[in-house]
Amino acid sequence: MSPQIWLITGTSSGFGGLLTKAALAHGDKVIATARDPAKIADLKALGAATLALDVTDTEENVNKTITAAVEIYGHIDILVNNAAYILEGAIEECSPEEEFKSWNTNVFGVTKVLRAVLPYMRLCRSGVIANMGSIGGWRGYGGAGMYGASKYAIAGLSEGLRQEVAPLGIDVVCIEPGYFRTNFLAPGHRTSSAKHIADYDPVMEPLRNMLSAYNGKQPGDPEKGARVIVEILTKTGRVQGKVLPGRIPLGSDALKVIGGFCADTGKTLEEWKDIASSTDHDDVAKN
């Protein structure tokens, strides 16, 4: 099998750099991107091509960067939208400007990169797109509502896009990790809202304390996670012959959270089905 060509955003921290290394170790070629390519010089030394890409830049500049990326190897087989932004704060505390910064990276940045890459994948009638979601895209958490909302959006976007491009030979998956021992929870990687409302301290302080205490103790091994993502997206090893689902959990805690959500939802549907279905017209057959 010939080497796959990867394009990965946000490779200067978190899963991005480890995923680049895992893909290279798999024998593939990687175009690693970051706002500052100097921060990914180690990936370049390992054989990755590196480019400056700020997913919050203008559509024109993102398109130019993707064009330059395609020119390196001639095409892109696997796109991983990995760049992410954590905004801490109660919903009322978050300003419109802070909200936009969060969504500009986590959602609008993803759609800009998608629009730039998809024409090349459509031309080849092949490709795999992975959008990095989160268990926060299944359950909302007080104090992290903006982040969770953006990950809910990514899940919905991925499912819609998956249906649109499936006839063109392109796969789309939303990978939803639990807590992995990356630097994602480190204080310097979490942005807190500037506004403080004391009424929300009973929610915000326990959250901040939990995240700080949990940093470095997360159950997920990010190197193992990166290798599994490579296995999934290249459809090799244990994934060979499988049809990729639209949403893929990553980590035992992700299985627990998502499984719990599905069980709770099932109970809610059963408890409320009579009330919910009572809104139908009288000529609608009842099952």
pLDDT tens digits for 90-119? Answer: 999 999 999 999 999 999 999 999 999 999
C-alpha distances (whole Å) from 243 to each of 14, 131, 167, 232, 248 are: 27, 17, 14, 10, 12
Q: What is the mean pLDDT of residues 143-160?
A: 96
Q: Which two tokens stand for residue 275?
A: 């009330």
The yes-or-no verdict on residue 8 having pLDDT over 70 is yes
C-alpha span between 132 and 84 (Å, rounded): 8
The yes-or-no verdict on residue 203 having pLDDT over 80 is yes
What pLDDT score does 207 carry?
84
What pLDDT score does 219 carry?
82
Q: Which of the 8 DSSP states describes residue 285? A: P
CB 28 within 8 A of CB 5: yes
Q: Which two tokens stand for residue 6?
A: 């990867």
Active site residues: 147
Q: How confident is the model at residue 287 (pLDDT cuts 50, 70, 90)?
A: low
CA 190, 194, 196, 200 dihedral sign is: negative
CA 159, 118, 250, 205 dihedral sign is: negative
What pLDDT score does 247 carry?
98
pLDDT tens digit sequence for 225-267: 999 999 999 999 999 999 999 999 999 999 999 999 999 999 9
What pLDDT score does 188 carry?
66
Identify which of 211, 232, 179 has the alpha carbon closest to the alpha carbon of residue 19: 232
C-alpha span between 194 and 177 (Å, rounded): 28
Q: How confident is the model at residue 146 (pLDDT cuts 50, 70, 90)?
A: very high
Q: What is the mean pLDDT of residues 27-56?
A: 97
% of the chain exceeding 90 in pLDDT: 85
* CATH code given to domain 5-252: 3.40.50.720
Range in 4-13, 140-149, 186-195 with the lowest mean pLDDT: 186-195
Neighbour-count burial for 24-48, b at 16+ CB within 10 Å, e otherwise: bebebbbbbbbbebeebeebeeeeb
Provide the whole-model pTM: 0.94
State the CB neighbour count (10 A cutoff) for residue 142: 14
Q: Is 32 left (phi over 0), alpha (psi -120 to 50) or beta?
A: beta
Residue 1 half-sphere exposure toward CB, CA atoms < 13 A: 13
What pLDDT score does 187 carry?
64
The yes-or-no verdict on residue 41 having pLDDT over 70 is yes
User: Mean pLDDT score of the chain, rounded to an integer?
Assistant: 94
* Domain range list for the chain: 5-252
